[in-house]
Amino acid sequence: MTTITVSTKPMAGHAAHTTALTIDFSTVTTEQLQAGFMAYAIVKLQGNWRKNGIPDSVSVNAADIAPGKRLAAPITTDQAKSIILNATPEERAKLIAEMQALVDAELEAATKPE
């Protein structure tokens, strides 16, 4: 069993009421926990997408969006260009080499027979 203190305002501007909430997890199934986490994850991700752009498709690791984790905002193409253009020649060469390696790995994976 897990007990937490929850503070709830009946309406904005009203005083909060405190509740001691005890949850018994002993009878919940893995599927039920995953369904609950999925509902939480959808709300968290949609909030991020509204601020940073809604993707056509996305895959996430559940641990990366667990409660207490902050979602990193993706950088824009213009921000990426600015990072590269403002880098030192050595940093720029390293960034370009790393990006080329990523592209090469993606191409190899896409053309590799299964």
Sequence ranges of the domains in the chain: 75-114
76-100: average pLDDT: 87
Q: Which of 54, 43, 48, 2 is nearest to 25 (CA)?
A: 2
Cβ–Cβ under 8 Å, residues 9 and 15: yes
Rounded to an integer, what distance in angstroms lies between the CA atom of residue 109 and that of residue 88?
A: 31
In this prediction, residue 68 has a pLDDT band, given cuts at 50, 70 and 90, of: confident
Residues 6+ apart with CB under 8 A from 18: 5, 6, 7, 8
In this prediction, residue 73 has a pLDDT band, given cuts at 50, 70 and 90, of: low
